[in-house]
Amino acid sequence: MNDLRDLYAEVVMDHNRRPRNFKKIDGADRTADGFNPLCGDQISLFLNLGDDDSIKDIGYVAVGCAISKAAASMMSEAVKGQSVADAQRVVTEFRHMLTHRDGEEPNYEIMGDLEILEGVANYPTRIKCATLPLHTLASAIDSGSEKTVSTE
């Protein structure tokens, strides 16, 4: 148990010290802003999409608590280079992991480091910190209706 907590703290701190893909993308294909008033977390997200509807590049600028910033960094790694449909699956599985709504095991494999945030489910006031970047990603993906998203 202590080992798990140490690992959790270490990974969260690492993403805060060296946030991945922390950048603004000028002229991005898609953008969205997210705000969590409960904690004051803010994020601006930028996406560039490839012709095959993959996430060619992702960047974000975030201010807020350690959990929200770590979640943004972990998310950016998990979805960069993935198809838009797979990125949406990451969002769905992550929310599933934090709510355990239907009692089924979430798909940990596609979440990368985001998996480490499962313990946040025990702190209901922090769940919105962790889900903010993923909600913002979903909203950025939805923001352009001119592109048709494949549902396979």
Q: How far is the CB of 113 from Zn ion (least distance, A)?
A: 18
| Binder among 44, 68, 131, 136 for Zn ion (CB under 5 A) | 68
b/e per residue 81-94 (b: at least 16 CB within 10 A): ebbbeebbbbbebb
**What residues between 121 and 140 interact with Zn ion by CB under 5 A?**
129
| Binder among 28, 45, 55, 65 for Zn ion (CB under 5 A) | 65
106-113 own/partner pairs: CB under 8 Å, 24+ apart: 110/78, 110/86, 111/78, 112/74, 112/77, 112/78, 113/11, 113/15, 113/74, 113/77, 113/78
Q: Which is nearer to Zn ion, 80 or 128 (CB)?
A: 128
| Binder among 12, 25, 30, 41 for Zn ion (CB under 5 A) | 41
Q: Which is nearer to Zn ion, 67 or 110 (CB)?
A: 67
Under rule CB under 5 A, residue 39 binds Zn ion = yes
**Torsion on CA atoms 3, 131, 101, 13, rounded to nearest 10:** 0
**What residues between 71 and 100 interact with Zn ion by CB under 5 A?**
none
**Total residues binding Zn ion (CB under 5 A):** 6
Q: Which is nearer to Zn ion, 7 or 38 (CB)?
A: 38
Name residue 32's beta-bridge partners: 45
Q: Which is nearer to Zn ion, 67 or 140 (CB)?
A: 67
Distance CA 114, CA 15 (A): 11
Find the part of the chain contacting Zn ion (CB under 5 A) among 9-17, 38-46, 47-55, 82-90.
38-46
- 76 with 82: CB under 8 angstroms? no
Q: Which residues bind Zn ion (CB under 5 A)?
A: 39, 41, 64-65, 68, 129
